[in-house]
Structure 1
Amino acid sequence: MVEGLGLKGPRGWAFREVSFRAGAGALVALEGPSGSGRTCLLLALTGRMRTHEGHAEVGGLPLPRRMAAARRIAALGQVPGVSELDPSLTVAEHLRERALLQRRFDGSVRALLRRPGTRAAETRARIDEALAAAGLDPAALPKGERTSVRDLERLEALRLSIALALIGRPRLLGVDDTDLKLSDADRAAAWALLRTVADSGTTVLAVCSEAPADALRITTVASDADTAGETGENGESGEPAPDEKTADITDTARAATAGPGAKTIAEDDITEEGADDALAETGRA
């Protein structure tokens, strides 16, 4: 549930008066042009950015009051500047790194006391489960799991980022730039993948330039800073922010990986805990 949610920066509102309801396992498309606040909205709903008006509830957790708890149930796929793939690493290295981080942050004491062989088998099983859910077959890649990210096709990289997020078995998955630079066939395959993830019970938030007909469409529109947000017939919202806010949105997303004390679009938008969690998303903690 999202009611009247808004986030303001020094140049105006990144988004405002966003209201909609989506149940578990819903596919929600955050649609709009680049610079219209889509990424900020995605980060706010996954507990990575602090909003300034309105409220939301994610998995029964009120935002922005329970941001840290929301981050524990919400995972990010690709989000430029926040949870990006490292082009110099291989598929296997990304998977191994994410699995180790998952064990570090979520593993119980009992799990840590298990035999190394048992832990390794459980880790491999979780990785294989995530790869299958993301529709990524390492054997079909040019060099198998030793394929570098820089050698992946756009759709393959998207599948890998989603697989990494699914290793944590989240209840909410956020993906940025879902349809960016994809052919029509690859775009259809990407949405089919996200529908499958949603059908499994994980709610999906997907930023895109054009939403599919079967998704819950939330439209963001860039406008002048002093223009009030307008809510559409289906709870879709306009965004009273200047065209120049594109740089603000990008810089804010990047600030999430800058560590504690990072400067953001507005003071305290991203908490120190949020910055640390964003570092953990990328495996650079």
Structure 2
Amino acid sequence: MSNGMYAGEPALEAHGLGMRYRRGWALKDCSFRLPAGRICGLVGPNGAGKTTLLSIMAHVLEPTRGTLSLFGAAPGSVDSGRTSFLAQEKPLYRRFTVAETLRLGRELNTGWDQRAAEDIVRAGNVPLDTKIGTLSGGQRTRVALAVALGKRPDLLLLDEPMSDLDPVARKELMGTLLAEAAERGTTVLMSTHVLAELESVCDYVVVLSGGEVRLAGDVDELLSVHTMATGAKEGENLPASLAHHPLVEYRTSGRQFTALIRPEGPVAGPVETDSLSLEELLLTYLRSPDAPPLITPTAQAQDQAYNTRTVAA
């Protein structure tokens, strides 16, 4: 069943989501929503909570507090065929052949698409009779992706799926992923450290830092509300003409300053303003963990009008 049939509801929605381990909080009060049918990049430094968040969505972990819904229901009550999770370590049975791995996928998933899974494997010239343990890292990634997409999920969760691939294989498999997602209307949430590739891949982003959501929303919305201002430095502080605009980052170099702001009205004073790329925006927020968070209207969690899982604090 395609996501296109669920266009009126978010693919996922988190309200005050938190996860605590012995060492402290991995997630703290995370609230955001991801509309169905989007390709979303999940970005953050190591230890930001990305894997924890994906594991909660995949019903691998139970959160300490807060609620999470997938297509309007608690993760554990959602048909397992609607969600597919590909962990970073890509767990596959090393003694199985590729064909046996795909057969296992077929036996365990009622909506399995054998032809689609085999096509993904054959596109990489991976022999079906080869054991998983003898494959290269890139070949294992291709087989794991074939299993994840063979389920024909409505929501695909990917944790650094292509970290072990060379640039050519990365681009090829990313193209395969996007083509499959477009054909099915699949919602994809993908964590990655390669910011440059997000510009042409993702139309939605969520930035985590210190276990909290710092930035979330439609890429075009986020870019439209930020401006890069540059000009001659006036002392060490932000020029007075920019002081009333919310500031994300202020940097100086020699006699020049650069400031990323969220303009509230016209930008006055002897400054130049320019738009910025998605990579520049994400890098700035990653460098500036104390910047005021921003969750755009499309990403703001709504009042809960459906059943979700509630976990006592």
Aligned partner of 1:161 among 139, 144, 150: 144
Alpha-carbon shift at residue 28 of structure 1 (Å): 1.8
8 Å Cα contact 2:207/2:215 also seen in 1: no
Distance 1:139 1:44, change over 3 A: closer
**Equivalent position of 2:92 in the other structure:** 85
What does 1:201-220 align with in structure 2 at a 5 Å threshold? 201-211=185-195, 212-213=198-199, 214-215=201-202, 216-220=204-208
> Of Structure 1 and Structure 2, which has the larger fraction of its residues in strand?
2
**Equivalent position of 1:73 in the other structure:** 82
**Equivalent position of 1:151 in the other structure:** 134
Distance 1:5 1:161, change over 3 A: same
8 Å Cα contact 1:92/1:145 also seen in 2: yes
**Counterparts of 1:220 and 1:139 in 2: how far apart (Å)?**
33
Cα shift readout 1:66-91 (whole Å, capped 9, x = no counterpart): 523264421222443xx601222210
**Equivalent position of 1:226 in the other structure:** none
**Counterparts of 2:72 and 2:151 in 1: how far apart (Å)?**
19
Distance 1:139 1:48, change over 3 A: closer
Distance 1:6 1:198, change over 3 A: farther
Give the match's secondary structure for 2:140. Answer: helix
Aligned partner of 2:216 among 230, 234, 239: 234
Cα shift readout 1:70-113 (whole Å, capped 9, x = no counterpart): 64421222443xx60122221011111221223xxx49xxxxxx
**In the comparison of the two structures, how many residue pairs are matched?**
205
Give the match's secondary structure for 1:3. Answer: strand
Distance 1:194 1:183, change over 3 A: same
**Counterparts of 1:85 and 1:230 in 2: how far apart (Å)?**
32
**Equivalent position of 1:60 in the other structure:** 72
**Counterparts of 1:187 and 1:12 in 2: how far apart (Å)?**
35
Cα shift readout 1:207-233 (whole Å, capped 9, x = no counterpart): 222241242222233x4xxxxx55424
Aligned partner of 2:43 among 25, 28, 31: 31
8 Å Cα contact 1:179/1:209 also seen in 2: no
**Counterparts of 1:195 and 1:17 in 2: how far apart (Å)?**
31
Alpha-carbon shift at residue 170 of structure 1 (Å): 1.7
**Counterparts of 1:203 and 1:159 in 2: how far apart (Å)?**
19
Q: Which has the larger radius of gyration?
A: 2
The one-letter code of the counterpart of 1:175 is L
**Equivalent position of 1:186 in the other structure:** 169
Alpha-carbon shift at residue 41 of structure 1 (Å): 0.7
Give the match's secondary structure for 1:218. Answer: strand
Which stretches in structure 1 are left out of the alignment for 5+ residues?
108-122, 224-228, 239-267, 270-285
**Counterparts of 1:130 and 1:23 in 2: how far apart (Å)?**
26
**Equivalent position of 2:26 in the other structure:** 14
Cα shift readout 1:169-215 (whole Å, capped 9, x = no counterpart): 22111222223122222232333233223212111122222241242
The one-letter code of the counterpart of 1:51 is P
**Counterparts of 1:193 and 1:57 in 2: how far apart (Å)?**
28
8 Å Cα contact 2:208/2:214 also seen in 1: no
TM-score (norm 2): 0.57
Query: What is the percent sequence identity of the aligned residues?
Result: 27
**Counterparts of 1:181 and 1:139 in 2: how far apart (Å)?**
15
Give the match's secondary structure for 2:128. Answer: helix
Give the match's secondary structure for 1:76. Answer: strand
